[in-house]
Chain A
Amino acid sequence: MTGHIALLCGIVLFSILAVLAKDLIKAAISLAVASLLLGILFFLMGAPYAGVFEISVVAGLITVLFMLTIALTKTGGDVRESKAVRIAFPVFFIAFIVIDILVMASLLPKIHVLAGGTETGTFGDVLWKQRTFDLVGQLAVILAGVFAVLALFRKRDKDE
């Protein structure tokens, strides 16, 4: 459990670094490190497939996409953030956590909890047999994403 908490602390720390870093490249790298730690945590929790997806897709592919976008918009990266943003962050963070604990303490006992119990079958059985509808949805989302990117980067006609 100590390892889990250390990883969770690392995830929150690198997420804060990603948000507060002035340099966008450093922010993207901090986000990738947070994803990497989350992937390791997934492995430790006994979810190797989710860990592989988190590390390869989120820490890898999304970081590459961020880097590409930062490189393509290089000169526009100097947007000045208000100084108050950095000063107010600890206050907001602590207030949010305190309110969250109070609300969750009153709500959690009222929420109906799923019955615990051991799952039968393999991950493949659960993914392909129980979540078939989700997989169809995934295909639709991937296709929608591909068509959206193609539409956004299409060449302009001479008439336009």
Chain B
Amino acid sequence: MSETWLIYLGFAAALLAVGLYTLLTMRNVIKLFIGFEVVSKGVSLVLLSTGFARTHILLAQSLVITFIVVEVSLVATALALIINIYRQTNSLDVRGLTKLKG
């Protein structure tokens, strides 16, 4: 069973790599958030596959549902922030947010 778990971990690492690369290199704030979503998919996969491998699927399911609820709340707030940023700067370029610099 642990070999199956390692396969899931490998694919979750691939999702993490894709998401992290987006967060590190992209300039469009919506793209950055898509990267965050990809990372969160990897986290959901790790949580559920660990429960699946250790036969604790019910507990893993409840944790994944909690994670999804938190994720949705975060996405709604962040997208509202992005719309406000666009209204202020008229651009989605993250480099335009230099006013946040101290």
Residues of A within 8 A of B (CB): 1, 5, 8-9, 11-12, 15-16, 18-19, 24, 27-28, 31, 34-35, 38, 41-42, 45-47, 49-50, 53-54, 57-58, 61-62, 65-66, 68-70, 72-73, 75-77, 79-82, 85, 88-89, 92-93, 96-97, 100-101, 104, 108, 113-114, 116-119, 121-123, 126-127, 130-131, 134-135, 137-138, 141-142, 144-145, 148-149, 152-153
The answer to whether A142 and B80 touch across the interface, beta carbons within 8 angstroms, is no
Q: What's the nearest-Cβ distance from chain B to residue A145, in Å?
A: 3
Residues of B within 8 A of A (CB): 4, 6-11, 13-22, 25-28, 30-31, 33-35, 37-38, 41, 44-45, 48-49, 51-52, 54-66, 68-77, 79-84, 86, 90-93
Q: Which of B18, B51, B64, B91 contacts A12 (CB 8 A)?
A: B18
* Cα A66 to Cα B29 with chains together (Å): 12
Residue of B nearest to A79 (CB): B28
The answer to whether B62 and A126 touch across the interface, beta carbons within 8 angstroms, is yes
Q: Which of B26, B35, B80, B86 contacts A81 (CB 8 A)?
A: B26
Q: What's the nearest-Cβ distance from chain B to residue A9, in Å?
A: 8
Contacts of A96 in B (CB 8 A): 13, 16-17, 20-21
The answer to whether A152 and B77 touch across the interface, beta carbons within 8 angstroms, is yes
Q: What's the nearest-Cβ distance from chain A to residue B45, in Å?
A: 7
Q: What's the nearest-Cβ distance from chain B to residue A105, in Å?
A: 9
Most A C-beta atoms less than 10 A away, residue of B54, B61, B77: B61
The answer to whether B10 and A19 touch across the interface, beta carbons within 8 angstroms, is no
What are some 20 contacts across the A-B interface (CB < 8 A)? A9-B11, A27-B34, A46-B52, A47-B48, A50-B60, A50-B64, A65-B76, A69-B30, A76-B91, A76-B92, A79-B92, A81-B27, A81-B28, A93-B21, A116-B54, A119-B59, A123-B62, A134-B63, A141-B73, A148-B76
The answer to whether B72 and A62 touch across the interface, beta carbons within 8 angstroms, is yes
Contact (A69, B18) CB under 8 Å given A53-B65, A79-B91, A126-B59: no
The answer to whether A145 and B48 touch across the interface, beta carbons within 8 angstroms, is no
The answer to whether B66 and A138 touch across the interface, beta carbons within 8 angstroms, is yes
